[in-house]
């Protein structure tokens, strides 16, 4: 009997729903006011003076001057740089912080700040309220956000939006691996899937891609709400259809 695990955490799960609900409610209420926005991802380990830090800072300022809010994970490194650029340019700088087991410090360059316990609730805010993703060099978290966007666009669960990979030297080999291994060798993706993202070393090109993508998003929203299986849902995805069950052969 001593080896039976404590079931208390599981009995508390139904009540945990209210905490999850509160993160969505607060997030929707706050983020619905920000206007056109861009989510920027990248390593938390890059310091001021690093080339990519300074480029992210410059990009944040460029986006702010074009009227875009800048959304990041609220931490140091690339997140701080993008927030800092937007903040110093007088734009909306948003940090969506996440609680972690180890101590972390939110960067001071935000004028809208939110704290999340759950990654999945935070991810919804990144996707629902941004018309483009920009991924600077980063680690597992950046890869997670990149492949999350690829999955949502590839499956049609969201309308296609610009995903920019900034830094060809960093992203090139990953793109090459996807092309050679996923596409050509194992056929686990389609040729058109390689067009779901853009790699660049140009800040101007990045801003241009964002502007075109966000203009397309505005034109979509101006159209009447569509009904049926393509109906958009409240969390920013597409409703879709349930999978069909193949007929099963009866056993003899």
Q: 145 lies in a domain?
A: yes
Question: Any idea which of 20-24, 78-82, 103-107, 188-192 has the lowest mean pLDDT?
Answer: 103-107
Higher pLDDT, 105 or 142: 142
Decide: 212 and 162 in contact? Cβ < 8 Å: yes
pLDDT at 1 over 50: no
Q: 238 lies in a domain?
A: no
Q: 242 lies in a domain?
A: no
Token pair of 51 as six digits: 């080339």
pLDDT at 53 over 90: yes
Q: 1 lies in a domain?
A: no
* Structural domains counted in the chain: 1
Q: 5 lies in a domain?
A: no
pLDDT at 45 over 80: yes
In which band, very low, low, confident or very high, does the pLDDT at 111 lie, cut at 50, 70 and 90? very high
Query: Facing residues of 72 across strands?
Result: 95
Mean per-residue pLDDT, 238-247: 73
Q: Note the pLDDT tens digit of each residue in 146-163.
A: 999 999 999 999 889 999
Sheet holding 93-98, edge to edge: 112-116, 93-98, 69-72, 37-41, 132-135, 163-166, 198-200
Question: Could you give the C-alpha distances from 148 to 101, 120, 142, in angstroms and in order?
Answer: 23, 11, 10
Q: 228 lies in a domain?
A: no
Range of the domain at 47: 23-222
DSSP E strands in 50-162: the ranges are 69-72, 93-98, 112-116, 132-135
Region of residue 107 (phi > 0: left; psi between -120 and 50: alpha; otherwise: beta): beta
Q: How far apart are CA 30 and CA 148, in angstroms?
A: 23
| Residue 153 CB neighbours (<10 A) | 18
Q: What is the pLDDT of residue 170?
A: 98
Q: 183 lies in a domain?
A: yes
Q: What is the CATH number of the domain that holds 148?
A: 3.40.50.450
Q: Hey, what's the torsion of the CAs at 238, 239, 245, 246, to 10 degrees?
A: -40
Mean pLDDT over all residues of the chain? 90
Q: 172 lies in a domain?
A: yes
Q: What is the pLDDT of residue 187?
A: 97
């Amino acid at each position: 009997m001593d080896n039976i695990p404590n079931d208390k955490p599981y009995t508390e799960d139904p009540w945990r729903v209210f905490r999850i609900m509160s993160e969505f409610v607060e997030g929707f209420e706050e983020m619905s006011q920000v206007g056109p926005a861009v989510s920027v991802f990248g390593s938390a380990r890059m310091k001021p003076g690093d080339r990519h830090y300074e480029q992210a800072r410059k990009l944040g300022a460029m986006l702010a001057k074009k009227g875009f809010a800048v959304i990041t994970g609220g931490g140091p490194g690339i997140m701080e740089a993008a927030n800092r650029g937007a903040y110093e340019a007088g734009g909306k700088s948003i940090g969506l912080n996440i609680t972690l087991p180890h101590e972390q410090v939110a960067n001071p360059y935000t004028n809208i700040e939110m704290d999340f316990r759950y990654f999945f609730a935070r991810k919804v805010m990144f996707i629902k309220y941004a018309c483009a993703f920009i991924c600077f060099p980063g680690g597992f978290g950046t890869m997670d956000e990149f492949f999350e966007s690829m999955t949502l666009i590839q499956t049609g669960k969201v309308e296609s939006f610009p995903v920019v990979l900034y830094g060809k030297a960093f992203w090139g080999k990953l793109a090459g691996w996807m092309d050679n291994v996923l596409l050509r060798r194992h056929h686990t993706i389609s040729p058109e899937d390689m067009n779901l993202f853009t790699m660049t070393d140009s800040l101007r090109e990045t801003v241009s891609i964002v502007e075109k993508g966000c203009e397309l998003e505005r034109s979509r929203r101006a159209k009447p709400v569509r009904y049926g299986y393509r109906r958009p849902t409240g969390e920013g995805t597409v409703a879709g259809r349930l999978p069909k069950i193949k007929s099963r052969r009866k056993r003899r």
